[in-house]
Amino acid sequence: MRADAARNLDAVLQTGARLLAQDPATSMASIASEAGVDRRTVYRRFTSREALLSAVYAAKLDASEAALDAARLTEAPVEVALHRYAESIIPVSRRWPLDIRTMMKQDPHAEGRAEQQRSRLAAFMRRAADEGLIRQDVPDGWPSALLGGLLDSMAHVFVEIEPGPAADLVVASFLRGVGQS
């Protein structure tokens, strides 16, 4: 793919992710206009909004997979792996702001990939519990849900905080809470 075509594709995917997250009914023409490309460029690459949405989902899942891989969840010490994951996934969530739950309802292939990623995180949470870094007496899935909420808030509410310091705060809050000790 030519460099300009790759840039255009990236612009369409990122713009599509942002606009569709804000308004799921956003038109292809609006996405093209906001991305700074001709509408025909978008339609040449994507035959429908659903095809564009599937491509956005695939891009988000690819980036999420890379964040999981970079964290080294099975090899690195738990706190190090958790920080690596947070620092990597926050920019992914900011770049691809579509809600994963919506994605899973609309795209069966995306659902399978997302489930594999959730399984990797669940295994990591079990490892963290086994090593005594998180409590074992909480409902199954609670640590993952809590971490997801912290990461989502950091990615979309506290956007002014850079990924490194954001990860510091997420990890400290997740492992030690926010109370005075």
State the pLDDT confidence band at 1, using cuts at 50, 70 and 90: low
6 or 92: which carries more pLDDT confidence? 92
Each residue's pLDDT tens digit, 81-137: 999 999 999 999 999 998 877 776 777 788 889 899 999 999 999 999 999 999 999
Q: Are residues 12 and 39 in the same domain?
A: yes
State the pLDDT confidence band at 2, using cuts at 50, 70 and 90: confident
Count of domains forming the chain: 2
Q: Are residues 34 and 68 in the same domain?
A: no
CATH number of the domain encompassing residue 80: 1.10.357.10
| Residue 137 burial class via C-beta count within 10 angstroms: exposed 0-12, middle 13-18, buried 19 and up | exposed
Q: Are residues 40 and 70 in the same domain?
A: no
Q: Are residues 102 and 23 in the same domain?
A: no
Specify if 104 maps to a domain: yes
What is the residue range of 155's domain?
56-176
Q: Give mean pLDDT, residues 139-166.
A: 95
Specify if 91 maps to a domain: yes
Q: Are residues 32 and 63 in the same domain?
A: no
Q: Are residues 25 and 108 in the same domain?
A: no
Q: Give mean pLDDT, residues 153-174.
A: 97
Q: Give mean pLDDT, residues 12-22.
A: 94
Q: Are residues 159 and 119 in the same domain?
A: yes
- Closest by CA to 99, choosing from 18, 163, 29, is 18
| Residue 110 burial class via C-beta count within 10 angstroms: exposed 0-12, middle 13-18, buried 19 and up | buried
Specify if 181 maps to a domain: no
Specify if 161 maps to a domain: yes
Specify if 139 maps to a domain: yes
- Closest by CA to 105, choosing from 144, 37, 57, 160, is 57
Q: Are residues 86 and 143 in the same domain?
A: yes
Model confidence at 174: pLDDT above 80: yes
The token pair at 31 is 């996405």
Q: Give mean pLDDT, residues 143-172.
A: 96
Q: Are residues 90 and 11 in the same domain?
A: no
pLDDT at residue 180 in the model: 66
Q: Are residues 151 and 116 in the same domain?
A: yes
pLDDT at residue 179 in the model: 72
Specify if 136 maps to a domain: yes
Q: Are residues 137 and 74 in the same domain?
A: yes
Each residue's pLDDT tens digit, 38-87: 999 899 999 988 899 889 999 999 999 999 999 999 999 999 999 999 99
Return the amino acid letter for 100.
I
Model confidence at 16: pLDDT above 70: yes
